[in-house]
Amino acid sequence: MAVNAASREAGVRPGQRLADARALVPDLLTAHAEPDIDLDLLETLASWCERYTPWVAVDPLGGALVDSRLPMDATTQSVDRGPTATFGGDGGLFLDVTGCGHLFGPDTEGERAMLADLTGRLARHGFAGRAAIADTPGAAWALARFAERQGALLSPVGGHRALIASLPVEALRLDAATAETLRRLGLRLIGDLLPMPRAPLTRRFGDLLVRRLDEALGSAAEPIQPRVPAPAFRTRLAFAEPVGRAEDIAAATSRLLAALCGQFEKAGVGARRLDLALFRVDGSVRRTDIGTGQPSRDDRHLMKLFEEPLSRLDAGFGVELMMLSAMVVESFEAAQASMPMASGMGAAELATLPGFAAAQAGPVARHEDQRVVQLVDRLAQLLGAGNVVRLSPRASHLPERAVATSPAGLPAAAPGSWARVAALKGTRPTRLFACPEPIDVTAPVPDDPPMLFRWRDLAHRVVRAEGPERLVNEWWRDAPTPGDVQRNPVARDYYRIEDEDGRRFWIYRDGPFNAAADTGVTARWYLHGLCA
Amino acid sequence: MSVFFPKAFAPPAARPHRSGAYPGTYPFDAPVLVLDRGRDGEADVAGRDDAARMAALRETVRRLERGGFDALPSSVSPLGVAAIDAVLHEGGLATGALHEILPAVGDGRDSPHDGAALAFASLCLGRFARAEDGTRRQTVPGRILWCRRAGGVFDARPYAPALAPFLDPARLILVETARADDVLWAMEEGLRCGALTAVLGEVFDTDLVATRRLQLAAEKSGVPALLLRRRGAPAATSSGVTAATTRWRVASAPSAPVRDRQGRLVEALGSPRWRLELLRNRFGDPSRADIPSWTVEWNDETGDLAVVSAPVDRSQGPPVERLVG
């Protein structure tokens, strides 16, 4: 539950009964709490705040402290319209702005300007919020929620101790019970706690109080966990006037890419995954990302990958800021320095293990023609990485499991790895059906290959047949349950057959004919592939 | 030997010249020679100097045909069957060209069986790869792009273990799209890239415009393109005109009975046999009236294709599609 500033002045408090509140304010507007929507809004805000710093976190305590006894004007950012619950009037965001202030001005001026910019922009979007900058997250939290004066919202470097000393103990992010006890003991202000000996405090109130005190003062570390991993490289471009035309956005993207690739050049890395964020004037953020199979710092190639996703991005009423972040980068040097490519059978089998394939990416990648690498990136961007694949053999005798696919960005199996499989030669079909198709069969003797079969409404007379080749389930997997037998039979008897026109098929019976008595399932015939 | 000006390459006077109308430059003042190949053995009579001149003229003609692009010298990769290679222009399948492979239909009913066509397409890819390996000085073998539309429940992918005798499946990059148009797009991207060994696309339907684009892209980059049609078409109805340089129809043929050492029949399948028909051969001998066709046998052990009977004369049959470009 939450109330807005006007209600609060009229005496309405969260936790009050509605009748009491109505008595105080007859025309009180109420609405149901929707914590999920509040959380979404807070996430949107957090995303928006990434314009200032990548290190943005939603306050994990959030509304845990909702308590009628707390002064409710102490919120970092509160939604002024619509009562809310969990995060409602109490949700907060942490921004790690270390080293960001200088973008707005020198020293303290910059941080003050940034603070004004943040609150100003939020106010324009209709959010009533309070923000504070201090040396520690704990102190900033306390100042934003409990400071009386606006001037105190920017704590000078090293000055947070003096500032928070005058704040009530609740500002230490304590649970309601502890705060209540402290108040009863006459310890109303944080300043009252500072000279107290630590040991009795810990004994009396547990670990939390002292830890919170240390966090607020900066003697204990409290790192901010960013919502998304902070990118190693980032470029941004702010516009004086919002841009909305697709050509302008594309041109800006290509400028950002050129700048980012310059950074890559210096650091000796290439991008694997890039994230482009468009900050729209309506406050929402549109994002799109691209991936490459191998590290790249070719801005023209990367721009080509962005072309299609950009065309799908909606600029709305205009974009005021664009930010391009390299979420994953890989070193070129590391790729080249990794182990030399092993050769022969053993290596081929190893290469089918995903981990090993990734480790091998380096040496193979170096030799692969860059034009092919870029082609694969382009195809994968439009069709999905899972649809542009390489094939490698897998050690399985089951036909449908014998081929492993991996994204084509990764290197293929070593040349020659298919040699072992090639021994199967003509016994395998050139086309294998994803789902074996049931066929109607006429067979003279139950265990023999059929004389006639119907597939897709066409009858084929069998002239020659070869078989059976019995393939049983892999013993190292779980045995199929009785209900599963239909889909995944214990054994399949495969026949290669040729019809009167010379067409060859690969058909199987899902189990020996006499198995029907044991399992209760009648053996059926399926067509699994078309042979050369 | 006849000399004339083809309409398309008429001198500038006959065609208003606009800047940018011609992508490259070629000698307008030189007469264009079109040579009837081997009609009366002129090349043999003319001697060695003339043979060199002929080669130069052929190159000129090729450049003209490629719209003046400074095209790569075209090459061919032989199929390895003397009887078939003799019919093909310069003795093999041209790289930098589009080749179309159709599955056959049997007895007027639409057969979905394209196992043989798929195998023949793989064989062609393997031949292209082999020809390229001979010239290339790269540590990584060239990649082959295989584009197809994923077919859902009835999908039947090419099965790599069965392709292994024809080409190394490790070279394949398999591209699966949701839409049919994307297959052509992916093929074109692959051809434009220019660094691939070959590009193959499985399509159900296509038209002149789409195949013309592919043909031009292949000509420009010198990368061979194969179009594997999934649906066969009866010869009589002519399944649409395409711009492919060659067009093949591949049908399964009954294999020979297998006998053991004592000469007794064995219940087993012999080497697969296919019936190949060269429906279109753009640079072939225009004087030929019949459609060349062969019955060939694929030998798994040696990796060879061999003709098992003489080409069948089908000139008495109804006139079937015949395009000589």
The radius of gyration of chain B's CA atoms, rounded to the nearest angstrom, is: 21
- CA distance to partner chain B, nearest, from residue A312 (Å): 18
Q: Are A12 and A25 in contact (CB under 8 A)?
A: yes
| pLDDT of res. B189 | 93
Task: Look up residue B35 and give its amino acid.
Answer: L
**Are residues B299 and B198 part of one domain?**
yes
Chain A residues with CB under 8 Å of B151 CB are 434
Confidence of residue B308 (pLDDT cuts 50, 70, 90): confident
- CA distance to partner chain A, nearest, from residue B151 (Å): 9
- Domain-embedded: residue B71: no
> What's the CATH code of the domain at B222?
3.40.50.300
Output the CA torsion sign for A232, A238, A242, A247: negative
| pLDDT of res. A84 | 32
- Domain-embedded: residue B44: yes
- Six-digit token string for B320: 């079937």
Q: Are B88 and B76 in contact (CB under 8 A)?
A: yes
- CA distance to partner chain B, nearest, from residue A431 (Å): 5
| pLDDT of res. B38 | 47
DSSP B137: -
C-alpha to C-alpha distance for A364 and B26, rounded to whole angstroms: 42
Phi and psi of A183, rounded to 5°?
-60, -40
**Are residues B36 and B15 part of one domain?**
yes
B59-84 burial, b at 16+ Cβ within 10 Å, e below that, comes to: eebbbbbbbeeebeebebbbbbbeeb
**Are residues B249 and B108 part of one domain?**
yes
**Are residues B97 and B55 part of one domain?**
no
Q: Among A262, A236, A224, A265, which residue's Cα sits nearest to residue A325?
A: A236
Output the CA torsion sign for A369, A371, A373, A375: negative
Q: Which of A378, A392, A464 sits opposite B189 (nearest CB)?
A: A378
Is B119 within 8 Å of A430 when comparing Cβ atoms?
Answer: yes
- Domain-embedded: residue B203: yes
- Domain-embedded: residue B316: no
Cα B169 to its chain centre, rounded Å, is 21
Task: Look up residue B302 and give its amino acid.
Answer: T
DSSP B252: E
Is a pLDDT exceeding 60 seen at residue B269? Answer: yes
| pLDDT of res. B65 | 66
Q: Which of B109, B116, B140 sits opposite A367 (nearest CB)?
A: B140
* Candidate from A489-503, B22-36, B118-132, B293-307 with smallest mean pLDDT: B22-36
Q: Are A519 and A482 in contact (CB under 8 A)?
A: yes
Please report which residue ranges of A243-400 form alpha helices under DSSP H. 246-267, 299-312, 332-337, 345-351, 354-359, 361-367, 370-383
Is A418 within 8 Å of B170 when comparing Cβ atoms?
Answer: yes
Is a pLDDT exceeding 80 seen at residue B243? Answer: yes
Confidence of residue A195 (pLDDT cuts 50, 70, 90): confident
Chain B residues with CB under 8 Å of A496 CB are 269
Tell me which chain A residue has its CA closest to the CA of residue B302: A425
**Are residues B198 and B159 part of one domain?**
yes
**Are residues B215 and B102 part of one domain?**
yes
| pLDDT of res. A220 | 83
Is a pLDDT exceeding 80 seen at residue B26? Answer: no
Q: Which residue has the tokens 């799908």?
A: A312
ipTM of the complex: 0.75
Which of residues B65, B86, B114 is at a domain's end?
Answer: B65
**Are residues B25 and B84 part of one domain?**
no
Q: Which of B114, B170, B175 sits opposite A387 (nearest CB)?
A: B175
Chain B residues with CB under 8 Å of A464 CB are 255, 257, 267-269
- Domain-embedded: residue B318: no
Q: Which of B107, B164, B190 sits opposite A422 (nearest CB)?
A: B164
- Domain-embedded: residue B121: yes
Is B156 within 8 Å of A383 when comparing Cβ atoms?
Answer: no
Is A375 within 8 Å of B170 when comparing Cβ atoms?
Answer: no
Which of residues B34, B65, B96 is at a domain's end?
Answer: B65
Complete domains list, chain A, with CATH: 5-217 (no CATH), 233-334 (3.30.1490.100), 338-422 (no CATH), 425-530 (no CATH)
**Structural domain count, chain B:** 2
- Domain-embedded: residue B317: no
- CA distance to partner chain A, nearest, from residue B270 (Å): 9
Q: Which of A417, A431, A465 sits opposite B115 (nearest CB)?
A: A431
- Domain-embedded: residue B322: no
**Are residues B57 and B109 part of one domain?**
no
- CA distance to partner chain B, nearest, from residue A343 (Å): 13
> B46 lies in which domain range?
2-65
Confidence of residue B228 (pLDDT cuts 50, 70, 90): very high
As a whole-number percent, the residues of chain A with pLDDT over 90 amount to: 6
**Are residues B88 and B32 part of one domain?**
no
Taking residues B90-108, report their average pLDDT: 80
**Are residues B51 and B87 part of one domain?**
no
Paired sense of beta strands B98-103 and B246-253, if any = parallel
Taking residues B17-35, report their average pLDDT: 46
**Are residues B99 and B45 part of one domain?**
no
**Are residues B248 and B228 part of one domain?**
yes
C-alpha to C-alpha distance for A288 and A325, rounded to whole angstroms: 11
Taking residues B125-148, report their average pLDDT: 82
